[in-house]
Amino acid sequence: MPPLYDLSLPALTGLLTDWGQPAYRARQIWEGLYQHFYLSAEEFTALPKSLRLRLAATFDFAPLVPEKSLASADGQTVKTLFRLADNLRIEAVLMKYDRRRTLCISTQAGCAMGCVFCATGQMGFKRHLSSGEIVAQVMYYARQLGQQGERVTNIVVMGMGEPFHNYDNTMAAIDRLNDPAGYNFGARRITLSTVGLVPAIRRFAAEKRQVNLAISLHAADDALRASMLPVARKYPLDELLAACRDYVAATGRRVTFEWALIEGVNDTPEQARLLASKVKGMLCHVNAIPLNPTEGYRGKAATRQRAEKFRETLEQAGVPCTLRLRRGIEIQAGCGQLAYK
């Protein structure tokens, strides 16, 4: 059965009209899904029993089955393994930072991009997630946090998969989460990360969305970048950065460049200076983080000293840079570590 989360409000309204139901029933279902986080037809007690039975026979209300959760030693990071209806698995992560409750969600089972230091890339591509399967990850954690008197504050679309490879479903999911009549989650509290699919960046810019854009950059020259991210062979840095500049011009929004610092590879002052020269004048920010370990890659994380030098070099050249803390490493919940066996 398809996930009920796959339907937009107009599509749900149209379906119920075809079933001979009044249009307001769609709004009741919408509120039940996105404001009360119901997980079964039985919970929709405001609906007639006959409608609840028909909905239960037609749609999957819980398309993700949580199989296992792992918590970091400090309890601030929780990773959950979900089973999909076809028995594929995905992972998503809840991260707690003071008052923030940030979700890292997935858009694909596996990934086709093949980035060498990423565990998801190492497992290969299985399939796209539907918009409903993407939404369901957020609703799972929203329900959990709601039971504790808390709520999701930020969403990063940085889990398994390349969001722009699954563009339509990813954007449909974001639109559904952003719907004022539903979950009403602010677009500016969502960050989407891409390895740099240039046509999709240009499409995204043309749509003038308020969602934050992050680019997995990791190198300031084509040869080094292509050795880590195969997509760089198709979209060279100059082409990618031109698309980023056009995005900033079209939206007025800042681009974030993500940089996994690998000791002796891309953590050098030379790389920092080259990066600064290429993004000079662009409204951007660099998020650098020491590499998270994965089984399929031998590179090591940059030392704190080398990471600080990289940041200082960028800052001195006029490019703002933040050194991020690694989270959930011991449970393989950090950036680039999501996969399943």
Q: Which of 91, 133, 162, 258 is catalytic?
A: 91
The two three-digit tokens of residue 337, written as one number: 């570590």
Instruction: Give burial (CB, 10 Å; 0-12/13-18/19+) of 45.
Output: exposed
Q: Which of 111, 244, 284, 335 is catalytic?
A: 335
Is residue 48 left, alpha or beta, with left meaning phi > 0 and alpha meaning psi from -120 to 50?
A: beta
The DSSP bridge pattern shows strands 89-97 and 77-83 to be: antiparallel
Q: Which of 66, 49, 65, 57 is nearest to 2 (CA)?
A: 57
Q: Count other C-beta atoms under 10 Å from residue 122's C-beta.
A: 18
The two three-digit tokens of residue 300, written as one number: 């090591």
Is 118 a residue of the active site?
no
Element (H, E) at 26: helix 24-34
The angle that helices 198-207 and 237-251 make with each other, rounded to 10 degrees, is 0
Is 244 a residue of the active site?
no
Residue pair 279/257 in contact (Cβ under 8 Å)? The answer is yes
The DSSP bridge pattern shows strands 77-83 and 65-71 to be: antiparallel
Cα 341 to the center of its chain, rounded Å: 21
Q: What positions carry a catalytic annotation?
A: 91, 335
